[in-house]
Amino acid sequence: MPKTIQKQCVYCLSNKVLNDNQILLHGQHLYLCAPRGQLVEGYLVISPFSCIGSLSALPADWFPELYLIIKVVSVFYQETYGVTNMTLYEQGRGGGGARIDAAGRFPFHAHLCCLPLIVDLHSFLSQHYTRKPIARLEDLSIIAPGCPYVYIESQDKTGVHKSCVYVPATEIKSVELERIRLKPIIASLIDLPMRGNWRTYPGDNELKHLIKCFDLFKRRFQ
């Protein structure tokens, strides 16, 4: 049987899959980028330079940098789009030790996704997985130890801002969390179902405009 070849990791900077202009901020351990597949203009990702499977495996002393970049994203959203309520989420599909996506054969590389809008993922996820409140991202390794998870920080349908981790209650749910793709679910929740897959909706016009807006935003601080 032919062995399926593992795909190159998009988020490992050494692979140079991302164009230089997509890297918006370059920190000591982490970077901020504007990926293709803009669900809405402003979809941003914070990621480590090289492959770490999930944010729950991030070294403890990297979190201050992560918070700093989140703060920059928050100010950018507010000043550029007038948005004060963003959604942050991470699919910790590699949290249980899995290294690659079973279907797509791409490596799991930790990335925190940022969206300049409210998406009530809490309602969807709480129907399927066990919800655990979390105060700080560095607690992921304690609250979701050795298992796949989803981290969500956003308002729920009652307007309450919540930071929660969703973990599997059974082995079947664990396998499901390792495979689930949230992007099509988010695209449906925001009534833009065709944007759930970057191949069918690359969002290149939004990407171009986002890069331009972030460049203008950065110039104000230089």
Which chain residues interact with Zn ion by CB under 5 A?
9, 11-12, 51, 109
Which is nearer to Zn ion, 9 or 117 (by Cβ)? 9
* CA dihedral of residues 57, 89, 92, 166 (deg, nearest 10): 110
- Spatial distance between the Cα atoms of 88 and 182, rounded to a whole number of angstroms: 12
Smallest distance from the beta carbon of 11 to Zn ion, in angstroms? 5
Which is nearer to Zn ion, 9 or 185 (by Cβ)? 9
* Sheet hosting strand 161-167, strand order edge to edge: 23-26, 30-33, 44-48, 112-115, 87-92, 149-155, 161-167, 130-133
Smallest distance from the beta carbon of 15 to Zn ion, in angstroms? 7
Which is nearer to Zn ion, 31 or 214 (by Cβ)? 31
Smallest distance from the beta carbon of 45 to Zn ion, in angstroms? 12
Handedness of CA 150, 88, 47, 42 (dihedral sign): positive
Smallest distance from the beta carbon of 107 to Zn ion, in angstroms? 5
Q: Which residue is nearest to Zn ion (CB)?
A: 9
Smallest distance from the beta carbon of 100 to Zn ion, in angstroms? 10
Looking at the DSSP bridge assignments, the partners of residue 155 are 161
- Spatial distance between the Cα atoms of 27 and 38, rounded to a whole number of angstroms: 23
What's the one-letter identity of residue 55?
Answer: L
| Three-state secondary structure call for residue 88 | strand
Beta carbons of 27 and 65 less than 8 angstroms apart:
yes
Which is nearer to Zn ion, 128 or 183 (by Cβ)? 183
Which is nearer to Zn ion, 49 or 81 (by Cβ)? 49
Which is nearer to Zn ion, 111 or 195 (by Cβ)? 111
Q: Provide CB contacts within 8 A for 218, sequence distance 6+.
A: 24
